Amino acid sequence: MELLADVGNTTTIFGLHNSKSVICVWRLPSSRLETEDEIFAILDGLFRSKGFSFSSLDGFCVASVVPRLNRSLQYFAARYLPFSAVFLKPDRFVSVGLKTDNPAEIGADRLANVIGAARHYGPNAIVIDVGTAITIDVLKDNVFVGGSILPGPATAMSALFSKTAKLPEVELFFEDHYLGTNTEDNIRIGIVNGTYFALQGIVKNLQKNFSERTQVIGTGGNVELFMIEDGFIDTNDQDLTLKGIRAYYDRVKASEKSITG
């Protein structure tokens, strides 16, 4: 069983993966992972609550977009686990091609998403990950060819609230109308509905790169905001990033095994 970590700017997702699938998922504020001992204390309690222990682990793989936390995760593995942490990066273990101007700058979460999409959905896919930022990643013929980045809905809400004197923070959800008659409706229509149609327009144009319609996979903590009936997102796969991390780790371990015999 492997421990997988998707370390984001706001939230870190830990998951346990057995030989078949993700069996446990925990979402934690990334701000709580500042030291190796904090990571141990938190995970030890979570493991115990599900009847697991660190002794049942065979490996630990991380996709991180927060460099300052990487050392804490490395120290955690060194101190509390019998193996080192493996960090996902754009190297030979990535199972898809990388056709971008600078593959080294691709976020580990985006790499994990396209790796997971390739393994579970095929060589052509569009992945939309809705978190602090919204990333759109395009997989064509098993090659990551690029995408786009937008502010996430919570980020947009926070920016609007912090930069204006009278606009309130509101609960975000998709409105079924487009003429707001009060401030809260106006904000929701602008942020949620507006972002939805921005995404829809981008995806519509991306589909022109394929000979037939390509599946659109949604993931991330806020993707539910855009899972509209008859919408453009076909599948909500909340474990996609973790699945991609596991697929990367499998290739690392297979390489190590072939070297050691």
List the chain pLDDT tens, one digit each, 261 residues. 999 999 999 999 999 999 889 999 999 999 999 999 999 999 999 999 999 999 999 999 999 999 999 999 999 999 999 999 999 999 999 999 999 999 999 999 999 999 999 999 999 999 999 999 999 999 999 999 999 999 999 999 999 988 888 888 899 999 999 999 999 999 999 999 999 999 999 999 999 999 999 999 999 999 999 999 999 999 999 999 999 999 999 999 998 877 765
> Residue 179 domain-assigned?
yes
Answer yes or no: do 142 and 72 share one domain.
no
Q: What does the pLDDT read at residue 52?
A: 92
Q: Give bridge partners of residue 126 from the DSSP assignment.
A: 138, 216
Query: Tokens 């980045």 belong to which residue?
Result: 149
Answer yes or no: do 239 and 132 share one domain.
yes
How many structural domains compose the chain? 2
Answer yes or no: do 134 and 203 share one domain.
yes
Residue ranges making up the domain that contains 50: 2-87
Answer yes or no: do 154 and 199 share one domain.
yes
Answer yes or no: do 70 and 166 share one domain.
no
Interior angle at CA 218, CA 242 and CA 235, nearest 5? 100
User: Strand ranges (DSSP E) for 50-132?
Assistant: 59-64, 86-87, 97-98, 125-130
CA separation for the pair 44, 14 (Å, rounded): 12
CA separation for the pair 116, 242 (Å, rounded): 8
CA separation for the pair 173, 163 (Å, rounded): 21
> Residue 108 domain-assigned?
no
CA separation for the pair 45, 85 (Å, rounded): 20
Q: How many CB atoms lie within 10 A of CB 86?
A: 19
Query: Could you tell me the CA-to-CA distances from 179 to 81, 93, 231 in Å, in that order?
Result: 56, 50, 20
Answer yes or no: do 45 and 150 share one domain.
no
> Residue 102 domain-assigned?
no
Q: What does the pLDDT read at residue 166?
A: 84
CB 22 within 8 A of CB 249: no
Q: Of 36, 66, 87, at which residue does a domain stop?
A: 87
Answer yes or no: do 133 and 239 share one domain.
yes
214: which 2 tokens?
């390509």
Answer yes or no: do 75 and 153 share one domain.
no
CB 245 within 8 A of CB 239: no
> Residue 106 domain-assigned?
no
> Residue 109 domain-assigned?
no
What does the CA dihedral 207, 213, 218, 223 come to, rounded to 10 degrees? 70
CATH number at residue 35: 3.30.420.40
Beta-carbon contacts of 244 under 8 Å, excluding residues fewer than 6 positions away, are 63, 88, 111, 112, 113, 114, 115, 116, 117, 119
Q: What does the pLDDT read at residue 261?
A: 58
Answer yes or no: do 181 and 234 share one domain.
yes
- Residue numbers annotated as active site: 109
pTM, entire model: 0.94
> Residue 60 domain-assigned?
yes
